[in-house]
Homo-oligomer: A and B are copies of this chain.
Amino acid sequence: MTRLTLALDAMGGDFGPCVTVPASLQALASNLQLHLLLVGDPDIISPLLAKADPSVLERLQVVPAESVIAGDAKPSQAIRASRGTSMRIALELIKSGEAQACVSAGNTGALMGLAKLLIKPLDGIERPALMTVIPNQQRGKTVVLDLGANVECDSTMLVQFAVMGAVMAEEVLGIAQPRVALLNIGEEETKGLDNIREASAVLKKTQAINYIGYLEGNDLLTGKTDVMVCDGFVGNVTLKTMEGVIRLFLSLLKSSSEGGKQAWWLKLLGRWLQKRVARRFGHLNPDQYNGACLLGLRGTVIKSHGAANQNAFAVAIEQAVQAVQRQVPDRIAARLEAVLPKSD
């Protein structure tokens, strides 16, 4: 097994090192091949490492960074002033070959822009896209992109997203001839925006893609498609809506066995049954699939939810590990050559 080193933007996200440091220790403890480079302010990070196990600490190194890109900074300005920030240094560690992937919970726009600048897109890709894999009703998985890297998308970008999503589904999830759909407001030909209709026309002619047409929002979880493609604005709002509803249900489920004037044995039995139901819903819990992958780059960059807790950030680290082990960028590059029209 080769050495596996990831660079983490330890300062990014709503909670910064208070989440990223414990999550790092958790990831190191559960994966003995893993090495982590924690990029950030040593004065804040070090005290959080004080009680860690020495066997874990020897696979962790703090890389100092002077500053941090604010979550609400305007990406273009943040990128111009990015020298010395934890996010930029973490990405530079991929560029220099010291790390094989990077994880950040920081400003999405800045991460997207800096990654494009430093890691560079693959040949044939105009703009990378944020992709995640969500569990579906059929106990299978659905690849969804773009989740917010590109607020506006033309038809060419949507087609490129479809190709990248299909490669991801086939090479990483192991789905043969993955079905690819465009997210729209109806399944009929005439529905939707111009860019979606144009992308649909191109995908129909692209033999290497198993394009199945339009699907609607309610099909995100039904497993009718293996890949769902949309622009970054719609993808972001949709996924956040889905997560909001799921969290609401899980909290209602948890609270429904509390309170009330029941006998103690009925309460106990009730809790046991709630747990049984919650287990069935558990695979839909957003914390279980945190970490969106910036697809279309020459390296692996994972964006964690800004509000991720320790467990969720550890899941994002695990996503980076898997993307590196499965050589996602190389596989996409190889397939893009075969699928996308030659530019000569």
Contact = CB atoms under 8 A, between A and B. Distances in A.
A236 interface: yes
B221 A245 contact: yes
Interface stretch (A25-33, A50-58, A185-193): A185-193
Nearest to A196: B233
Given A216-B240, A237-B234, A249 B281 contact: yes
Contacts of A152: 193
Interface string A231-263: 011101111111111111100110010000000
Given A190-B74, A252-B280, A270-B273, A222 B237 contact: no
Nearest to A245: B245
Contacts of A240: 185, 216-218
Give the one of A152, A248, A280 with max B CB within 10 A. A248
Given A74-B190, A233-B185, A244 B218 contact: yes
Contacts of A71: 188
Given A185-B233, A217-B240, A241-B242, 12 more contacts: A148-B185, A151-B193, A185-B236, A192-B233, A217-B237, A217-B239, A220-B244, A233-B234, A234-B234, A234-B237, A241-B241, A249-B249
Interface of A: 71-72, 74-75, 137, 148, 151-152, 183-190, 192-193, 216-222, 230, 232-234, 236-249, 252-253, 256, 269-270, 273-274, 276-277, 280-281, 284
